Structure 1
Amino acid sequence: MKLLDGKFVSEKIKQEIAVEAADFLATSGRKPHLVAILVGNDGGSETYVASKMKNCEKVGFKSSLIRYDVNVTEEELLQKVKEINQDAGVDGLIVQLPLPKHIDPEKVTEAIDHRKDVDGFHPINLGRMMRNLPCFIPATPYGIMLMLQSYQIDTVGKHCVVVGRSNIVGSPMSILMARNANPGNCTVSLTHSRTTNLKEMCLQGDIIIAAIGKKNFITADMVKPGAIVIDVGMNRETSTTTKSGYKLYGDVDFDNVAPISSWITPVPGGVGLMTIVGLLKNTLASAKKEIYG
């Protein structure tokens, strides 16, 4: 078993981003600028946004955090999104999910200018990805592809089983792994909570990408020896043994699956760190007008 070490790969790529950001500052006179909007005070969202802002500063980006009370109206939030869309000094805009129930996340996602949609959730970016056109790839799938690329994992002809069909991870991941590219060129099975023979499907996987959002969902009896296992899960539980007061668990039963896998991502220290790298690379590409000119 070998670790797909998100910490090692992300630090290496962030160093490369920092060099490019410094060059951009020297030629344009400004830093790439990411704006994040955070509604409410959800613990997980607070942690994720703080990490994104911290990493922006680390690579030489400008970052701005706009906070709203949980009772902010949908109209007020959409007006702020429109305002940021029109700000030429902003390269990327993310609205941290989940949002309060009275705000439609689809409406907010579609309101973001697709040219600043560095999370890669806008239908235009997803549609362009589907057609293998230049676009902002959703940050988590992008990070996973960068990790596979960094470790030179040969995916050609492999059977990739994706567990989970969200628009954020599972569905785009299935498209990327099937594309005529490297990484890619897999035969892909997209499975989910309603798949009746999920265990049998997983056992066929040369590559398993677990993104179903359930702690330790993928167990050792679902993984064939030598499989590559990528754990997207970030399941928070309160803990009295950690400084933060919570502990993260993946969707994979790491302790029992790791010994039979060829490669595996840890949680934490795996895909989560690569998601931030995907976001940073999208923001830099936006600043440099590499996607939409």
Structure 2
Amino acid sequence: MEPIIQESETHDRSGTHERSGTHGLPLVDSEAAEPVATRRSAGVAESSRANRGWWDGNADEYQQEHGTFLGDDRFVWGPEGLDEVEAGLLGPVEDLQDRRVLEIGAGAAQCSRWLAAQGARPVALDLSHRQLQHALRIDDLLNRDHTVGLVQADAGGLPFADGSFDLACSAYGALPFVADAELVLREVRRVLRPGGRFVFSVSHPIRWAFPDEPGPEGLSISASYFDRVPYVEQDEQGRAVYVEHHRTIGDWVRDVVAGGFRLVDLVEPEWPAWNTQEWGGWSPLRGGLIPGTAIFVCERQETATG
């Protein structure tokens, strides 16, 4: 596979400034003031635009901070550390051979790199060009051929033909950040072959009722679980620079069904004793009391109309 990041659409990076960095890539620097956090509505286009800019600007820091935990070619479903090697949510490892797999919100393609090592034929898709640059960087550091196809695109408009993939997956990628989850699910169903499986993980909805703190201060309910108003960070002009959307468990189930899938399993990983790492609001303290991740195991539902 040629080491080319295919872009499904052009985008303007004129507002960023680049300089030499320590990651083998130029660092993206921003002169913008610190954004202000609020709760307000944010539509499909605004959410996509804001999150593309945020991940382009924060990919360096994210990979530097979490790269060791994520590994270079490991498939981990969330901060608890549940590994696909143990979970087998995509199916038996031996069945991955020659399977076409789409990873959505792939970041630096760590999961796709693991899939390729199992004999699968993965494509790693991400909204952020910068994240995919890190995928190329890791390949170069490993002195490894570029066995994973890299595509920059929005999950709401997948640039693939119907029935292109056998499996799809997303580990905290795309779905928490999109305004229309049903649209994305329908797109995933479209590019899956009949009987195809889609497994995705998101921040567990119950966490939205608690402060995003890893210590004791994060154990008291501070908001309504049913408040679905998006979390938005915005600049001085009121333009969103980061957006995350909240859905309840019931909302997710309804979106999965409306998107054309059958829900096979809902996995809530328990915090393992070996994991002593804190990751934002995730921690051993909180993880031992409330779930931090929800993993939805879905299969393409066939209907009379296809």
Bigger share in strand: 2
TM range (shorter): 0.3 to 0.5
TM-score w.r.t. length of structure 1: 0.38
Bigger share in helix: 1
